[in-house]
Structure 1
Amino acid sequence: MARKPARMWRRLERPYTRTEYIDGAPGTRVRMFDMGNKSADFPVMLTLVAKEAVQIRENALEAARVVANKYVSRRAGASNYKLKLRIFPHHILREHKMAVGAGADRISQGMRAAFGKPVGRAARVKPGTKIMSVWVKPEHFEIAKEALRRAAMKMPTPTKIVVEKGHELLKGKI
């Protein structure tokens, strides 16, 4: 079955997270949360911050992670950055699957038992929540900024890029 449009899941709803009570709850599709050189200490930190309250599906998180990681690792080098995904998709999305097509009215039960089956996961985000952070050296500042801009294109909410650490090292670049 085809994936539903993201607008169906964007609105914040009541949290549905207790996987011990949910049969068939899918695992997360986000492969990694920490990438790059995890042990090094980098002086500049940039963060992607959400501007609106929204649910971000796991496939959007994974797409943003992949595009940011690929851009920074190819431009700056594998050992010259650290990237961290700061949110986890805890919320389980449900869908009430309806029969469609000819003769569907005979098969369908309408809204009877319409609670829905688990189909995916999403991260619940409020305004000001840090979604993703990149740590780099000052000479790779523009690369990290572009990587976060590309990751922001995959998000269902407006975002902003904030320099959290290393302002003094970026004279004339901000």
Structure 2
Amino acid sequence: MVRKPNSMYRNLAKKAYTRKEYMGGIPGVKVVHFDMGNLTSEFPMEVSLVVDESCQIRHSALEAARMSINRKLNKELGRMNYHLKLRTYPHHVLRENKQATGAGADRVSQGMRLAFGKAVGTAARCQQNQKIFTVFSNPASVEKIKDALRHGGHKLPSPTHLVIEMKQES
């Protein structure tokens, strides 16, 4: 079965469909890790990837962006010099009313009868200016982090921008 284009699921058109205890047959979330790199050290700077529009991001897109960012940071900085955090979780269940295609499909297909749809995946519902990924690191590596986050942002369905913040010393 061919995966449908992301443009079908990008907009926040309907209410969130998240009550998994009432559903069956929901595919598992593809996101493997939500925290990567050095999880024990405190870093003075954080760089965040922020979405510009409200949208739904499929779990496969989150995983692709996570893998891209983590691979680039691991190669450029080393595993102990950053902490990458994925800040959203794909709670929203996506549904699709499957249609039969090909010869004789009109005899098999039900059309819009019982058109509620089957669960085909999950997505994270993101609001405008919400942080999706955050990298904690040292100020010396800011350019490499910006490049990695920019590459990962291309895998998301919304335009993105970066926000750089320094932690306050107490």
Task: Give TM class, smaller chain.
Answer: over 0.9
SS, match of residue 149 in structure 2:
helix
Aligned partner of 1:8 in structure 2 is: 8
- State how far apart, in whole Å, the 2-side matches of 1:9 and 1:90 are: 14
Alignment of 1:113-128 (within 5 A): 113-128=114-129
- State how far apart, in whole Å, the 2-side matches of 1:14 and 1:60 are: 21
Identity %: 51
Are residue 27 (structure 1) and residue 13 (structure 2) matched?
no
- State how far apart, in whole Å, the 2-side matches of 1:136 and 1:71 are: 14
- State how far apart, in whole Å, the 1-side matches of 2:26 and 2:69 are: 28
Alignment of 1:79-118 (within 5 A): 79-118=80-119
Alignment of 1:1-174 (within 5 A): 1-12=1-12, 13-165=14-166
Q: Deviations over 1:126-154 (max 9, x none)?
A: 10111000011111111111111011100
- State how far apart, in whole Å, the 2-side matches of 1:133 and 1:51 are: 15
- State how far apart, in whole Å, the 1-side matches of 2:156 and 2:134 are: 15
- State how far apart, in whole Å, the 2-side matches of 1:14 and 1:165 are: 36
Measured after TM superposition, the shift of residue 166 of structure 1 is: 5.3
Q: Deviations over 1:12-55 (max 9, x none)?
A: 12100000001111221100000000000111100011110100
Under a length normalisation based on structure 1, what TM-score does the superposition of the two structures give? Answer: 0.94
Q: Deviations over 1:50-94 (max 9, x none)?
A: 110100001110000000000001100110000000000000000
SS, match of residue 80 in structure 2:
coil
Measured after TM superposition, the shift of residue 164 of structure 1 is: 2.0
Contiguous gaps of at least 5 residues in structure 1:
168-174
SS, match of residue 79 in structure 1:
helix
SS, match of residue 158 in structure 2:
coil
Aligned partner of 1:171 in structure 2 is: none
User: Number of paired residues?
Assistant: 167
Read off the aligned partner of 2:9 and give its amino acid letter: W
Read off the aligned partner of 1:8 and give its amino acid letter: M
Read off the aligned partner of 1:87 and give its amino acid letter: T
